[in-house]
Structure 1
Amino acid sequence: MSREESSMPRAFFVTGNQYKAEEVARLLSGIDVVWRKLALPGHEPADDAQGPIDLGALAKRKVLAAYQVLGAPCFVETTALELDSGVTLTGARFKKQWLAQGERAFLDTHGGNRGRARVAVAFSENGHPGHVALFEGSMAGTLLTEPRGEGGYGWDRAWLPDGYERTLGEMAQHKFFLNMRHRPYLELADRLREQSAGGAYEAHVTIAARSEDEFQRFRAFCGAAGVKCIFIELGQGEARFQPMTASYHHGPLKQAQEEVQAFARALAVEGFDVTRLKIEALGANKDIPSDDATARAQPANYFEFHVKVTLPAEGADVEALRARCERYGAHLSRNARKVRADGGAERFVTLRVKGLGRANAEARFSAVLRDLAETGLPLSYPLREYTVYDSNHALDRGWGEVRS
């Protein structure tokens, strides 16, 4: 029986930390991974252990123990805070001291030291000790004497990464692609994902622009980087205004993710709050599922279809258009910064479909196009894309729920 037929996830992520599970879910968006809590005692170094900690060996021991319980592909991670003062704490030992001493006393003792935060991710496909895959990452920075920010967990509020002016706690919304995890989980994703030749992708990096000045600064940054900037306004929803980039990439998905994350990190350095990374496969890209079974095996991914509708300067009935679209689960948006010389208005119709292969998904879009054609309104620029990575599905809550 195939994994898709048995509803077996691609892998289990074993951790007792809900916040860590949520962060990893964003890094591995598009891959069917299930969070599982398991008690794995006896695999931490002793409290009085001295010297460097072999995080990789520790992670391997844990993942093999997890596989013995689950009997299915799984992965774990171990973390450590290594300070130049000579103090080295695993994530578990750090938590124990942090809770025992309190944040203030811990930072009085250890704050002001440079060092690095490390992570080791171990993946076991079959439980064989010789077949464990290991992925490691680190981030240099300084443990501050005063915490800053209200987000994150662990040492995030006090950890100032090199090259940034804000702590991870102040960048909690997008720290998943900034901290030590982003590289090892890119490599793990490449291992977990079905092998493909990739192809062409379009990527969008969305920010939270809270003022006109911030939006203009974002537009200037994009212009200097040679990246298109657009300002999408949704018809409804919790995050109606979404300034974002639009860029094209070619090659394997991992390469596209690396390029998009690098640009997002550059935005974070400039003080922007990144709210979403999204990558869409285009055209003949091999990541687009051709049949329903393949699509159902990727429950976080979805087709996204667009067509532009031009409305007249007078007598435009946007609500009637919206109602017509909603019969199919489609939604309206617009480019808030675009003004037509003839006084007309433009709306983008977006239809999202998951769990269907290319032919069946496109059949739904064709039905929308036929219905819209009956209005007599000009239709242009139909686009067909397949979202292979979306770090924040919730950003469109109240607007773009995906239909199966």
Structure 2
Amino acid sequence: MSGEGSGSQAIRKLVPGKLIIASHNEGKVREIRELLGPYGIEPISAAELDLPEPEETGTTFVANAELKALQAADLSGFPALADDSGLCVDALNGEPGIFSARWAGESRDFGVAMSLVNDRLDALEPEAGLPEISRDAHFVCALALAWPDGHVEWFEGRVEGALVWPPRGANGFGYDAMFLPDGGSETFGEMDPDAKHAISHRADAFRQLVTAVL
């Protein structure tokens, strides 16, 4: 799914050069650098420029990605790319969703966050006639690309899967170690980065971005 937030009909192209990655999450920045590598883009993280992290007041992934990208573009004077992503668990009515990072607490401890998700699922009673609680879940990634003049393009990707417990694998970040993509035998935490990039929600959104603006 993609869209553009400027009101114009034409998709704006991104030219090679500096691009601010509006994130202080090292794992996200690393993945984005790898995905942008072949396109002549020079990614610079918001942390490298000591840019502040805005309060995420949006009610959707796209809204939060847009506000982060717009702030970084305005403060830096360069185009900025922001990612807002999270885990949505069907049996938890889509939680943690846009609050995925907040479930990890101020210390950003995703071991705590994964335990909280699993504990919430364990506390549920199966629906009548069903033997157990569904552990189906999906990751969503919204990418917003903003320019200093306020123009925004956005793209949204998704990957379906199910949750496992205990977590498996030390690769990846966030909730990766408990997420088993549909049709796979390894969690995102067990997969090699290239294998994950081929199927992830972030890769899905990036494919849309590359097609549209690069």
Highest Rg: 1 or 2?
1
CA contact (8 A) 1:119 1:138 kept: yes
Q: Counterparts of 1:284-323 in structure 2 under 5 Å? A: none
1:93 aligns with 2:115: no
| Residue identity matched to 1:78 | D
2:207 partner letter:
L
RMSD, aligned CA = 2.5
Structure 2, unmatched stretches of 5+, are 1-14, 123-133
Q: Which range moved further: 25-34 or 8-17?
A: 8-17
Deviation at 1:105, TM superposition (A): 4.8
The answer (yes or no) to whether the contact 1:108–1:145 under 8 Å persists in 2 is no
In structure 2, C-alpha distance between the alignment counterparts of 1:58 and 1:115, rounded to whole Å: 21
The answer for the alignment partner of 1:73 in structure 2 is 79
**1:39-94 per-position Cα deviation (integer Å, ceiling 9, x unaligned):** 2232245xxxxxxx411122111211111211111110101211112123324224
Aligned-partner SS, 1:181? helix
Alpha-carbon offset, residue 126 of structure 1? 3.5
Structure 1 pair 26/113, CA: closer, same or farther in 2 (3 Å)?
same
TM-score, normalised to structure 2, is 0.73
Q: What TM-score comes out, normalization by structure 1 length?
A: 0.40
Q: Distance in 1 between matches of 2:74 and 2:80?
A: 10
- Aligned residue for 2:136? 114
- Contact 2:70–2:148 (CA under 8 A) maintained in structure 1: no
1:104–1:61 CA distance, 2 compared to 1 (3 A): closer
Show the 5 A alignment for 1:348-387: none
Q: Structure 1 residues 92, 61: closer, same or farther in 2, change over 3 A?
A: same
Which letter maps to 1:99?
D
1:18 partnered with 2:30: no
Say how many residue pairs are matched. Answer: 178
**Paired residues for 1:168-247 under 5 Å:** 168-174=188-194, 175-193=196-214
SS of residue paired to 2:201: coil
Higher RCO (Cα < 8 Å, 6 or more apart): 2
Q: 1:104 to 1:40 in 2, by over 3 A?
A: closer
**1:22: Cα distance to partner?**
1.4
Question: Which amino acid letter does the alignment assign opposite residue 142 of structure 1?
Answer: A
Change (3 A) 1:94 1:179: farther
Question: Normalized per residue, which structure has more strand?
Answer: 1
Which residue number in structure 2 is paired with residue 146 of structure 1? 166
Which residue of the other structure, out of 29, 42, 45, is the alignment partner of 1:33?
A: 42
Aligned partner of 2:130 in structure 1 is: none
Partner residue, 1:162:
182
Q: Is the 8 A contact 1:15 1:35 kept in 2?
A: no
Cα deviations across residues 154-201 of structure 1 (Å, max 9, x unaligned)? 0110000111111011104321222101121122234453xxxxxxxx
Identity %: 25
The whole-number CA distance in structure 1 between the counterparts of 2:154 and 2:162 is: 26
Distance (whole Å) between structure 2 residues aligned to residue 94 and residue 12 of structure 1: 26
